[in-house]
Structure 1
Amino acid sequence: MTNPTERGRLPEHALLTHKSFIRRLTAADWLFAVAIVFIAVFSQTRIGHHMDGYEVAILWFSAASAILLGWFFKPLRWFTPLSVLLAYTAVLLYGGNINRGDGFLLKYFLSSQSAIMWQCATVFFALFCYIAGAVVAKQRHADTNTLLGMGTALAWVSALAGFTGLLVRWHESYLLRPDAGHIPVSNLYEVFILFLVITALMYLYYEKKFAVQKLGGFVFSFMAVVVVFVLWYSISRDAHAIQPLIPALQSWWMKIHVPANFIGYGAFCMAAMLGIAELWALANEAKGKKSWLPESQVIEEVMYKAIAVGFLFFTIATILGALWAADAWGRYWSWDPKETWAFIVWLNYAVWLHLRLVAGWRGKVLAWWAIVGLFITAFAFIGVNMFLSGLHSYGTL
């Protein structure tokens, strides 16, 4: 029989039984936080002579961000420490002498250039596995298989290799020029590597959250195009060589403005490829055919999430850019071609979000809009530097 007190008790609302974010953290989460704090302390004590007050602040802000991201997206709990461990192994192997780069581990695995080449190779391997896995999944009417799992694993390897390569390149810049070392986000070659890392990590997050492994072929197809450009740019222009910073970039603002910008660029480009996937899914749904892709509504939801995150970080980057301009040139905004096109990019995605959230638009129009947005973003990033001149002309091809 039911106890009278239990029979008269009202059910608790779900929000009342829901644990707070802090209470949901496990021992592994706190251990990860301790590890990141240890890494930050170690970095400050070992290389503090290269840091000014601003850079120390950026170090600890980065550490706090890494902890929050690791709590939010659990795979980053192994990704971040492993990247740092591999980079520090390279530092130990160099032993303060850039000429030791001919050693086996550095030459083939852990120097910045070898790690970045592994990143480029694994992007193609991941693309092949994602496409082959999607074909097998279509034939077997399954949502996942071994090939798709391999694609995910290789995507993680590509991001790990690229991020490790950037960290090692940062150290190499100090070995080459102790008085002119700098964070590796100062030219097209370096920021494209950063772009590949960010795009891969963002896609892997949404892949896990929405179970959309079949979309990996679309995202990594675009990343493969970027890799081809990186390889061409490296071979034809010797772009992989570490160069001293030009005076315009000798600012701590660069360390925060550029990464924020490329979270936006990565999200917008990923959204464009998802727009192509959505159009494909919509075409199959209109014909009454069972699509091998996720449902179009799911794809659009992922696209919306990506654009929302990208818009947030691009807005932050634009504000930081204005502050940098005021510090460098004495004014926040000058309608320089780069600034003008950055505003056009911002306005494009602001309208996209308005139409979806306020006007309630869905479907083909937003998918096409996201695809067109890729060309607007690409021109703002590369086209302006190629065809227009201005205060940002130092970023030319």
Structure 2
Amino acid sequence: MSVPNEQMIKGYQPSPHIDESRRFGLVDTVWIVAVLIASIIGFGQYSEALDAYTTGTLFGTAALLAFVGWIWPAMRWLTGIVAVISLYALWQYNTLGADGAIGREALADFQESSFLFKFLLSSTAATMWMVTLYLLSIPTYFIGTLARSNYGLKVGSALVWAGSVMGFVGFFSRWRESYLINMDYGHIPVGNLYEVFIVFAVFTALLYLYYEKRYNNRSLGGFVMLIVGVSLAFLLWYQHDRAAHVIEPLVPALNSWWMKIHVPANFIGYGTFAIAAMVGIAYLIKYKMGGDGPNDRLPKLAVMDDIQYKAIALGFAFFTIATILGAMWAAEAWGGYWSWDPKETWALIVWLNYAAWLHMRLTKGWRGPIMAWWSIGGLLITSFAFLGVNMFLSGLHSYGEL
């Protein structure tokens, strides 16, 4: 088999230069100070319930948020809007359970009696708004792309931003609701398939919005949000058929500090792998239609190739971190770093797949259709590792089965 290279790929152009410079100004300083103050207030409010690990997680998350807000100013607006809405919802909830839990029925009665909570601020209502806005963005993006309508594409982006706000509001509301139902139920909402599908949708959407801004092109939005839409279709089925939205206590194996960092790191990896695969589909469509041309509706092949590479590189880094964290968690929970459990085995397969992808890209110069097909295949492998193992295999991670 001959090795593909830049000269063999029809329509290939060198990757565009992207200015990575970012001046540090007064607004950046204000942003970082605001995040630091918020984290200190949070620590002061909940210090009695925080150990050294969770304290490190709190300030580490604050540092990461400050950095992301510096390199991507749009995240400041998202953070501010989410903070205002979520703090109002939490303040209202705190008036109910200031001294502890109030029970499931009392919480439901309050949500039913309040218009804002019934239709907007409860975790279920906010999540449904997220689902609706994300699903509406798919046809909006595609219509905007086909019609070459910048306005339509901007509306698509606005829908994704609004959906992300509601996803985070639902996340924080669900977190507080778990404690209001029963103090022993309280947990960060990344403990079951319903909750992590929400995390996947929001992370994937936000990561796409970053690449959308970075490459100044919105025409891939329909492709990326399509995979988000598929995950949301599963979420709706899971909620309707299994009542998965009902808050239940964590299984003992998940009641750990490690979950707070292992799961989010994993889903940054899953989200970027999904983006690379959907961009790969767009790449192949354009390639089969003749490549770059004067009537392009999609980004140039070189741009899509570069997005795939950057997405997989970022995802691989976070997936590697998540795998290491998972091994450390396993050592604490089960007494060994690795047990060849089906979930662990398939995580290794995913890691090896993308390690090979990056190796061929960086050392052999592979680009073009073969890498697009590979990224699509990688998504299939990742999907089985994420969901298929839970459905068809059993092991130490069987608590995540459908």
Report how far residue 241 of structure 1 moved. 0.7
Q: CA deviation at 1:168?
A: 1.3
Following TM superposition, by how much is the alpha carbon of 1:20 offset from its aligned partner in structure 2, in angstroms? 8.3
Shift of 1:261: 0.2
Does residue 1:326 correspond to 2:331, yes or no?
yes
- Give 2:297's aligned amino acid: W
- d(CA) in 2 for partners of 1:270 and 1:326? 32
1:89 aligns with 2:73: no
Partner residue, 1:105: 116
1:288/1:89 CA distance change after superposition, 3 Å: closer
Please give the alpha-carbon distance, in whole angstroms, between the structure 1 residues aligned to 2:357 and 2:386. Answer: 20
Do the aligned partners of 2:184 and 2:249 also contact (CA within 8 Å) in 1? no
State how far apart, in whole Å, the 2-side matches of 1:37 and 1:101 are.
33
Give 1:29 shift: 1.2
Equivalent AA in structure 2 for residue 101 of structure 1: Q
| Equivalent residues of 1:284, 1:291 under 8 A apart | no
2:344 maps to 1:339: yes
RMSD (Å) for aligned C-alpha atoms: 1.7
Q: Which residue of 1 aligns with 2:77?
A: 78
One-letter amino acid of the counterpart of residue 46, structure 1: Q
Question: Does structure 1 residue 121 correspond to structure 2 residue 120?
Answer: no
For residues 387 and 212 of structure 1, the distance between their equivalents in structure 2, rounded to whole angstroms, comes to: 39
**1:372 alignment partner in structure 2:** 377
AA matched with 2:69: G
- The equivalences for 1:105-254 within 5 A come to 105-137=116-148, 145-254=150-259
- Indicate how the Cα distance of structure 1 residues 35 and 224 shifts in structure 2: closer, same or farther if over 3 A, else same: same
Q: Contact 1:265–1:310 at 8 Å: present in 2 too?
A: yes
- 1: distance between equivalents of 2:262 and 2:178? 20
Partners of 2:28 and 2:350 lie apart in 1 by 37
Unaligned residue ranges in structure 2 (runs of 5+): 1-18, 98-106
Paired AA for residue 96 in structure 1: L
> What's 1:303 paired with?
308
Equivalent position amino acid for 1:71 in 2: W
CA displacement, residues 15-63 of structure 1 (integer Å, 9 cap, x when unaligned): xxx9986xx2121111111221222122222233433332122111111
CA deviation after TM superposition for structure 1 residue 219, in Å: 0.5
Retained in 2: the 8 A contact 1:36–1:81?
no
Structure 1: state its 5+ residue gaps.
Answer: 1-17, 138-143
The structure whose RCO (Cα within 8 Å, separation 6+) is larger is 2
**Residue 364 (structure 1) shift:** 0.7
SS of structure 2 residue aligned to 1:38: helix
Q: Deviations over 1:63-107 (max 9, x none)?
A: 111101100111011111221221111011222343422211111
Q: TM-score, normalised by structure 2?
A: 0.89
Deviations 1:328-377 (A, max 9, x none): 11110111111000000000000001111110011110000000111100
| Alpha-carbon distance between aligned partners in 1 of 2:384 and 2:88, rounded to the nearest angstrom | 39
TM-score (norm 1): 0.91
**Contact 2:178–2:187 (Cα < 8 Å) also in 1:** yes
Q: Which amino acid aligns with 2:122?
A: S
Distance in 1 (CA, whole Å) between partners of 2:21 and 2:198 is 37
1:353 aligns with 2:352: no
Contact 1:122/1:155 (CA < 8 Å) preserved in 2?
yes
Of structures 1 and 2, the larger Rg is shown by 1
